């Protein structure tokens, strides 16, 4: 590795999205909802306002890293992760043009670039490729996903003042090479349960504790199979469990509904060998005014450290996390992770 890269923009450090739980953050019902909603929106919109192109045409130009065509960058990179930490991470990102329309090149090469505090250049610490993951049901939308390794923390704050950037290189327009990037925050440890961590034993509502499933789910037609057990009951049952935190009616990315539908389909196929639980992220979804900014998160959201949605976890029969996915995960990928937990 060892290539020198200048930062996309020296001011990008101020725009890094962090999980508020790492710094204490706001408190109270309104404060927690504000953190959750603000982070979810920021994950989709950050790069649209703060990113600059590294180079346009040919290979990345380290002598003129801020060079770009008149009118600004033709494409921006939007990282959709709220919980990155030292080690291997599943990084999701989108590419959008100036009209905020998705850009989908045939191949994308990615790099993790680290900048020491005050350093004018950074070091490429990891290189990989990205795969486009289609979202259900149409397959016309989706995100790029890459397994990326970060070898040290960098949050642009406190004891970890360095900063990381994710760079992506691809053809745009055809025949021309474009490199874009975004600053990301990488913590020393994950704030959301990671592989090998014990799953929090959240006491979530079930069909046995309510008279109408619409009081604990914003799905248009809640599937009773997803509310038979609480998270605590499912995790302690001795069977693998899939837990999805999603809000179908109020999802920022509009992928929560498809995610819960995939969960229902897997439940129909694998209910004999595993548990399936949907956790609505908002309390009393049937009473929520879609136009009102006031919404209360359920306790399980905070217990699991979540500041975005959807999140889906596969828990092994020993009660520890075996796989986790931020944002939408296609059914075939989730099924593969589930089968690994059923037949370790």
Chain segment 50-89, per-residue pLDDT in tens? 333 333 333 444 334 435 555 667 999 999 999 999 999 9
Compute the average pLDDT of residues 198-219: 98
Q: How far is Cα 306 from Cα 297, in angstroms, rounded to an integer?
A: 10
Confidence of residue 294 (pLDDT cuts 50, 70, 90): confident
In terms of average pLDDT, the best of 60-64, 138-142, 166-170 is: 166-170
- pLDDT score of 118 more than 60: yes
**Which of residues 72 and 119 earns the better pLDDT score?**
119
pLDDT at 134: 87
Q: Residue 23 pLDDT more than 90?
A: no
pLDDT at 46 over 60: no
CA distance 204 to 339: 25
Given this model, what pLDDT does residue 37 score?
A: 53
As a whole-number percent, the residues of the chain with pLDDT over 70 amount to 78
Closest residue by Cα to residue 114 from 226, 248, 6, 212:
6
Domain spans of the chain, in order of start = 4-187, 213-342
Q: Band of the pLDDT at 24, cuts 50, 70, 90?
A: very low
Query: Which of 3.40.50.970, 1.10.3720.10, 2.40.50.140, 2.60.40.10 would CATH assign to domain 4-187?
Result: 2.60.40.10
For residues 275-303, give the mean pLDDT. 95
Strands (E), the chain: 4-5, 55-56, 75-79, 84-85, 87-97, 108-115, 122-134, 142-150, 163-171, 177-184, 186-187, 241-246, 275-280, 311-315, 321-326
The pLDDT value given to residue 40 = 54
More confident residue, 45 or 89: 89
Q: How confident is the model at residue 14 (pLDDT cuts 50, 70, 90)?
A: very low
- Pick the more confident residue, 253 or 155: 155
- Mean pLDDT value of segment 248-265: 94
Task: Return mean pLDDT, the chain.
Answer: 84
Alpha carbons within 13 angstroms on the beta-carbon side of residue 192 total 25
| Residue 163 clears pLDDT 80, i.e. is over it | yes
In tens, the pLDDT along 308-329 reads 999 999 999 999 999 999 999 9
Query: What integer is the mean pLDDT of 225-231?
Result: 98
Please tell me the pTM assigned to this model: 0.83
Res 137: pLDDT: 63
Q: Count of CB atoms within 10 A of residue 205's CB?
A: 18
CB-count burial class (<10 Å; 0-12, 13-18, 19+) for 132: middle
Lowest-confidence region among 8-22, 117-131, 135-149, 248-262: 8-22
User: How high is the pLDDT of residue 65?
Assistant: 41
Residue 257, CA distances (Å) to 146, 168, 251 in order: 24, 29, 8
> In this predicted structure, which of 117-131, 135-149, 197-211, 247-261 has the lowest mean pLDDT?
135-149
pLDDT tens-digit readout, 296-310: 999 999 999 999 999
Q: Which letter does DSSP use for residue 135 in this model?
A: P
Output the pLDDT for position 139: 60
Span 213-342 CATH architecture:
3-Layer(aba) Sandwich (3.40)
Q: pLDDT digits over 212-227, tens only?
A: 999 999 999 999 999 9
Q: Which residue in this structure is represented by tokens 């739980």?
A: 21
């Amino acid at each position: 590795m060892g290539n020198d890269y200048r930062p996309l923009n020296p001011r990008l450090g101020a725009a890094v999205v962090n999980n508020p739980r790492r710094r204490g953050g706001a408190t109270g019902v309104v404060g927690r909802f504000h953190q959750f909603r603000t982070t979810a929106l920021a994950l989709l919109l950050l790069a649209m306002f703060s990113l600059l192109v590294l180079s346009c045409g040919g290979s990345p130009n380290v002598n003129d890293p801020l060079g770009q065509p008149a009118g600004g960058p033709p494409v921006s990179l939007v990282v959709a992760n709220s919980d990155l930490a030292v080690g291997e991470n599943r990084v999701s990102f989108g590419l959008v043009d100036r009209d905020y329309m998705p850009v989908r090149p045939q191949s994308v090469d990615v790099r993790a670039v680290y900048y020491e505090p005050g350093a004018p250049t950074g070091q490429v610490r990891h290189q990989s490729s990205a795969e486009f993951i289609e979202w259900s049901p149409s397959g016309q939308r989706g995100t790029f996903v890459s397994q990326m390794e970060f070898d040290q923390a960098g949050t642009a704050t406190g004891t970890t003042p360095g900063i990381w950037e994710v760079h992506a290189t691809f053809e745009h327009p055809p025949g021309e090479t474009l490199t874009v990037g975004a600053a990301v925050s990488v913590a020393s440890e994950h704030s959301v349960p990671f592989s090998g961590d014990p799953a929090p034993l959240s006491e979530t509502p079930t069909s046995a504790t309510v008279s109408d499933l619409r009081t604990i789910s914003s799905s248009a037609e809640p599937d009773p199979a997803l509310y038979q057990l609480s998270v605590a009951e499912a995790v302690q049952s001795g069977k693998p469990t899939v837990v999805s935190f999603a809000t179908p009616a109020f999802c920022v990315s509009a992928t929560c509904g498809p995610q819960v539908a995939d969960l229902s389909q897997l439940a129909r196929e694998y209910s004999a060998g595993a548990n399936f639980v949907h956790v609505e992220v908002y309390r009393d979804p049937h009473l929520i005014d879609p136009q009102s900014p006031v919404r209360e998160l359920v306790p399980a959201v905070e217990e699991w450290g979540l500041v975005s949605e959807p999140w889906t976890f596969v828990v092994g029969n020993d009660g520890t996390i075996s796989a986790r996915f931020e944002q939408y995960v296609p059914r075939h990928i989730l099924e593969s992770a589930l089968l690994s937990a059923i037949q370790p």
